[in-house]
Amino acid sequence: MREHIVDFLSYLRGTRQYSAHTLRAYESDLKEFLAISKVKSLPEIERGSIRAYIADLQKRKNLSRNSCLRKISAVRSLTRFLVERNLIPDSPFVGLVLPKKEKLLPKFMTESEVSKLLEAPSSIGRFFLRDRALLEILYSSGLRRAELSSLNIGDVDFNGGFLRAFGKGSRERVVPVGNQALGVLRSYLNSRPLRNGGEPLFLNARGARLSEEGIALIVKKWKNSLNWPKRLTPHMFRHSFATHLLNAGCDLRSLQEMLGHKNLANTQIYTHVSLDRLKDVYGKSHPRSRI
């Protein structure tokens, strides 16, 4: 079975062009499935083993419903891959009742919180210019951390105020970037000795490309410097970017393009958290709101 999982992950990496972060999650979930289900060969992947695995997941009190569904999705994708290659006759998921997805509102920072965080990197320390530029670009562009990590210097158009990002499935898009973020980024690049378009935009302490994990550590570092008790991830910059744009009147189609969402439904979740914008529109539009 492990050989088939290796083939499946290679397919996701080469053909579907999944990110390294997603591949690690898939590999971890599939290894867990083998350990719990005791499946060792293809004939053992049948409805009973899948049902037992799902039952085990649902018993875990510390596992959210969406995390449970993510793990099930990894196994389901594997079985689909095996069916397509005629390695198993049909999908063992046919007829199974799966848990419904839990609708969670994205967590985001207020504009005041974002301002405090962007100003946190001071002139103290070797990497303050890099860190400040990184935080500014995260908020100004709404990029995923994998997209940010993969940026090269040549992907930034300082004159036009855009950068070129490669999202899920290596889909390319052009994203606008604010002048303030570009100014800080220019200062960071000017502090580096050698620069060409093919170099990584952000470097780690060894002069190599800054990884997704490195980006998360930088965000955590400056969050801790402000003694914030709340959890903060790079993805919360993306949520904040989207929410603040909608609050300021940005339309959904434009936001969808900037976020790189394939489906508008993925963008619409932010309408549920843009309460300031909804209240403002209501106040200006409803005939009885001003009485």
Residue 227 has pLDDT above 80, yes or no: yes
Domains recognised in the chain with CATH numbers = 2-84 (1.10.150), 111-281 (1.10.443.10)
Q: What pLDDT score does 220 carry? A: 94
Q: Which residues contact 77 (CB under 8 A, 6 or more apart)?
A: 8, 26
Sheet holding 172-176, edge to edge: 156-157, 162-166, 172-176
- For tokens 């799902």, name the residue: 54
The string of pLDDT tens digits covering residues 2-61 is 899 999 999 998 888 787 878 899 999 999 999 998 888 888 888 888 998 999 998 887
Residue 148: the pLDDT is 95
Specify the DSSP class assigned to residue 43: G
Please identify which of the residues 71, 130, 261, 277 carries the catalytic annotation. Answer: 261
pTM of the entire structure?
0.71
Burial call 223-235: b when 16+ CB within 10 Å, e when fewer:
beeeeeeeebebb
290 flagged as catalytic: no
Q: Tokens 């908020």 — which residue?
A: 139
Q: Pull the structure tokens for residue 200.
A: 């990584």
Per the annotation, the verdict on 282 as an active-site residue is no
Task: Give the active site residue among 53, 244, 270, 277.
Answer: 270
Within 13 Å, how many C-alpha atoms sit on residue 236's CB side? 16
| Rounded CA separation 274/112 (Å) | 16
* Structure confidence at residue 121 (pLDDT): 87
Q: What's the Cα-to-Cα distance from 119 to each of 75, 111, 115, 188, 217, rounded to whole Å?
A: 43, 12, 6, 15, 17
The tokens for 162 are 């855009």
Average pLDDT, the chain: 88
Q: Which of 71, 132, 238, 244 is catalytic?
A: 238
Confidence of residue 281 (pLDDT cuts 50, 70, 90): low
Task: Decide: 128 and 122 in contact? Cβ < 8 Å.
Answer: yes
CB-CB neighbours of 15 under 10 Å: 8
Which parts of 60-197 fold into alpha helices (H)?
A: 65-84, 111-118, 128-141, 145-149, 179-190
Q: Which amino acid is at 285?
A: S
Q: Which residues contact 217 (CB under 8 A, 6 or more apart)?
A: none
Q: Which residue has the higher pLDDT, 5 or 285?
A: 5
Evaluate if residue 284 carries a pLDDT over 70: yes
The active-site residue out of 168, 209, 220, 221 is 168
Q: Is 168 a known active-site residue?
A: yes
Q: Which region among 51-65, 209-223, 240-254, 265-279 has the lowest average model confidence (pLDDT)?
A: 265-279
> For residue 195, what are its two tokens?
């620069």
* Residue that wins the pLDDT comparison between 98 and 235: 235
Catalytic residue, chosen from 65, 76, 164, 235, is: 235
Task: Look at residue 273 in the predicted model and tell me its pLDDT.
Answer: 62
Q: How far apart, in Å, do the first and last CA atoms of the chain sit? A: 69
Is residue 238 annotated as part of the catalytic site, yes or no? yes
For residue 53, indicate whether it is catalytic. Answer: no
Judge whether residue 229 has pLDDT over 80.
Answer: yes
pLDDT tens-place string over residues 145-172: 999 999 999 999 999 999 999 877 678 8
Range of lowest pLDDT (56-70, 148-162, 185-199, 265-279): 265-279
185 CB burial (10 A radius; 0-12, 13-18, 19+): buried
Asked if 207 and 214 count as a contact pair (C-beta separation under 8 A), the reply is no
135 — pLDDT class (breaks 50, 70, 90): very high
Give the Cα-Cα-Cα angle 122, 137, 143 (nearest 5 degrees): 140
**Is the confidence at residue 209, as pLDDT, over 80?**
yes
* CA–CA–CA angle 34, 38, 42 (5° rounding): 75
> Is 270 a residue of the active site?
yes
163, 174 Cβ separation under 8 angstroms: yes
pLDDT of residue 32: 93
Predicted local distance difference test score (pLDDT) of residue 16: 82
Average pLDDT over residues 98-103: 76
pLDDT of residue 271: 77
